[in-house]
Chains A and B, each alone.
Chain A
Amino acid sequence: MSFAATPVSAPKIGGKLASRLACVIVQPILTRLVHKIAHQHPSLFARLGGHQATDYLIDPVDLPFALHLRPDPTALILRAVPRDTPPQANAVIRGRFMLLLELVDSETDGDAAFFSRALDISGDTEAVVRLRNALDDMDGSVVEETANMFGPAGRAILARLRRSYAQGAKGFGAR
């Protein structure tokens, strides 16, 4: 079994306008999502320690936008931002969207993704490690929870995403 170490790079998707539109459309979903997670998994914040005020840029290279996360329990931020004008971030986590989702749910091992170069991190490494460990301590699937928020349509979209990702990265994660 092999998993080619394709360098993580951002494919060109749409123009600047499309990217901004996508941000506007997706934002209400993100806001609902992040508050739901915070409500259901309060222990997550303890593991973040001093990094509750850290600005993370999560960059799914195959989506038209990136995500800005500040996991501050008193002023939680998860917003879509245009990739070409991202906000200042302390740490950047970059990879294919489905890989990032699998990491959130711990379906894939972050270290393994990093060794294979499918996952790219830069900036404050401790911030990334803390976020990873905090997310890893959550039971259940954030991804499934999110999909369920949108009923059958949400689940259908997720299933399609998984299929297309599985074709791109066959067998990875030894599942």
Chain B
Amino acid sequence: MTLAELICPAGTPAALRTAVEAGADAVYCGFQNATNARNFPGLNFTPDELAEAVAHAHRHGTKVLLALNTYPPAGKFDLWRDAADLGARLGVDAMIVADMGVADYIARHHPQMRLHLSVQAAASSPEAIRYYCEHFGVKRVVLPRILTIPEIRQIRTEIPCEIETFIFGNHGLMVEGRCSLTNYLTGQSTNMDGVCSPASDVEYIRSADGSMASRLAGFTIDTFGPQEMAGYPTICKGRYIAPSQPDGYYAFEEPVSLNLSRLLPELIDAGVHAFKIEGRQRSKSYVRNVVRAFRQAVDDIRAGRHANMADLIALTEGQKQTQGAFETKKWR
């Protein structure tokens, strides 16, 4: 097992090839349906595309992880079951799951398949992680972005599986897999449909003075002045008015991206096995630049050199970056 594997996003076959070329150890991707948490318009893989992608990745020594990380609503379990069967037939290297029913199905019907526990399962304690390891044979947990490095180090000593942490991209604020904010406003569910602020409900309204309002299903999520950096129209990155904040404030989090490039050595030292880059919805350009930069950094660290990271600020949301919870408990 290699330490500090680089796990990279692939929203399309072209992005997958880009990630492979840029030095990904593994890519993660999903089918064009609700079975994965980035079920966005025009994104993801047909079965034929995934078959080709697996062949391409394996030719280059890169693993393919299939995201099956949403929660099937009762009556629709077949879609997830079929996706798991298909993924196994196409020879993916692991499946990333959140739902206990899906995990149990794969563990029983595809016992050779390696299971990773998705961040969508929100396993944030050694006990929760052990539950999935002992019952479903989970080999790796993707940790929620809410733990400090000392906490990760402690968890490592108490669980029987590998740890994967996010190092770059969307800075998730809500406990993943427990968020119905999008469904509350749009009628499409993050857990059941794999969407978050679906584009079909997003509207950007420009005023004559150059300011812009972003709306979701008719609700104003944020307004940006003409010179102000913008973010995604997600509810948890919106600006609202509270009794103690009459002028409006970022009630949950401001538009900002996670960037842990400076913490990589500490994370490796804490026992993190794999680094995940968020962004299956992003372009090839993003994949190329971010993967390349982190490939270089990880290689430098492995060789005992100081890691010289390329500047990625232009690719971050709101052109701001944070080390979030990884740096300090005060984040909470």
Indicate whether A and B are direct neighbours in the complex (CB within 8 Å): yes
Taking beta carbons and an 8 Å cutoff, which residues of A are in contact with B? 1, 3-5, 7, 9, 46-49, 103, 106-112, 114-117, 120-122, 125-126, 128-134, 136-139, 171-175
Q: Does B123 contact A (CB under 8 A)?
A: no
| Contact among A3, A47, A125 for B202, CB-based, below 8 A | A125
- Most B-side CB within 10 Å, residue of A46, A110, A115, A116: A115
**CB-CB nearest in chain B for A120:** B206
**CB-CB nearest in chain A for B230:** A115
Q: Are B41 and A115 in contact (CB under 8 A)?
A: no
**Nearest 8 pairs of A and B residues by beta carbon:** A133-B42, A7-B210, A130-B42, A137-B12, A126-B199, A106-B284, A125-B202, A109-B286
Q: What's the least CB distance linking A79 to chain B, in Å?
A: 23
* Residues of B close to A9: CB separation below 8 A: 210
| Contact among B206, B210, B283 for A106, CB-based, below 8 A | B283
Interface residue tally of chain B, by bracket? 35 or more
Q: Are A175 and B41 in contact (CB under 8 A)?
A: no
Q: Does B249 contact A (CB under 8 A)?
A: no
Q: What's the least CB distance linking B93 to chain A, in Å?
A: 22
Q: Are B11 and A133 in contact (CB under 8 A)?
A: yes
Q: How far apart sit A138 and B46, CA to CA, in the bound complex (Å)?
A: 15
Q: How far apart sit A111 and B285, CA to CA, in the bound complex (Å)?
A: 10
A-B contacts, 15 of them at CB < 8 A, read A7-B210, A49-B42, A109-B315, A111-B283, A111-B315, A115-B231, A115-B316, A115-B318, A117-B229, A120-B204, A129-B199, A131-B42, A133-B11, A172-B314, A173-B314
Q: Identify which of residues 118-176 in chain B touch chain A, using a CB-to-CB cut-off of 8 Å.
A: none
Q: How far apart sit A106 and B15, CA to CA, in the bound complex (Å)?
A: 10
| Residues 1-34 of chain B, each 1 if its beta carbon lies under 8 Å from chain A, else 0 | 0000000000111110100000000000000000
Q: Does B87 contact A (CB under 8 A)?
A: no
* Residues of A close to B12: CB separation below 8 A: 47, 133, 136-137
Q: Does B78 contact A (CB under 8 A)?
A: no
Q: Are B42 and A1 in contact (CB under 8 A)?
A: no
* Residues of A close to B310: CB separation below 8 A: 174
Q: Does B296 contact A (CB under 8 A)?
A: no
| Contact among B227, B255, B282, B311 for A5, CB-based, below 8 A | B227
Q: What's the least CB distance linking B23 to chain A, in Å?
A: 16
Q: How far apart sit A4 and B227, CA to CA, in the bound complex (Å)?
A: 8
Q: Does B80 contact A (CB under 8 A)?
A: no
- Most B-side CB within 10 Å, residue of A49, A121, A129, A138: A129
* Residues of A close to B42: CB separation below 8 A: 47-49, 129-134
**CB-CB nearest in chain B for A106:** B284
Q: How far apart sit A115 and B229, CA to CA, in the bound complex (Å)?
A: 6
Q: How far apart sit A1 and B312, CA to CA, in the bound complex (Å)?
A: 10
Q: How far apart sit A107 and B15, CA to CA, in the bound complex (Å)?
A: 12
Q: Does B112 contact A (CB under 8 A)?
A: no
